[in-house]
Chain A
């Protein structure tokens, strides 16, 4: 194996895993245990509160009310992201019962849905980045960190699409690689440029995430719950 493959595929993954899990747990634990007195307030009934928080998390109604364009691109971006994350489960496991129930071949599903999601999320990212550059009220509050987050995602999406679209990629080899990683055995890292770049960038994202604004995916439960307190 090349040195790159060993660094990216063997040495980095356990580091990523430890940093990601520890930092995420510590973040959630801290948020959870902090006191919340009642300065922030936005009364609705307790029933409305849980439903309201869920609705905000799944459908972004507040954003819909404010900015339809941003709502559309960010909702599609997040929806595609969820699809893609689910798709990545196939790297370590498979759902034959699901393909059976849908009466569809897993690889066809992967090509059609996964391929479409990969292209769609690329498009949404380009629009989100464009908006950040073009819209004054967004550009004036953006720091290098805000650009870094979207460009990192863009790079991950491009390399991910590259694996699928640019030449042949051996899915079986990558499944074997991840299986070895999970079993704590010495893995055979697939020597594919797209794959190694994708794997590296994804790990950068996982390490960066707990320390960044990407935590809004977990924080939103705390903040929405606070303003929807009964």
Chain B
């Protein structure tokens, strides 16, 4: 593991992203626009918007970074750059940490803009500290990135990688307790929700926003961190020095 290589990889990824200003604009503009849309969708039910608006700010980075990473990693595989990197003195961890660093940074910017719009302009209230909401949002981004990195190994084409979003991300959003409290779901689904990482990410956000800075929040964050590490380890096993 080398700080030099990790840093160079993160800078390289950010440069690549900057060469694609349309993607950057979409990453930064779409989440605040969707939050705004949501506010007016729930015009007749302001209490619902109050409840879901805050956590959604912290879930956007999870979804976008999952997509961006799975496509970026798929490109590394299909263009042969991954094979080149694997034949160079680069530790797998350097590559993974470089991805994490670059996309956590982008996520922090994205979360800050979205949070500013939601909490500043749209009247969503956070009782807890805003920095904590943004920090959890960035952690969610790293979780999304780690999952994307791992799952991209199972996609042969960009079409498949994009379809992984409805397949792996939507169910987690539905079961996380955002729309319906988990105890109101069919018991089997509630049981499933306990093993999905987004459940804990959502719970952490909801608690941070409600200013419930308690042991449950600490547990949520520990589970999210554990899932990040697990996904990265699984992701590392898909980076092969030798291929058939």
Do the two shown chains form a genuine complex with each other?
no
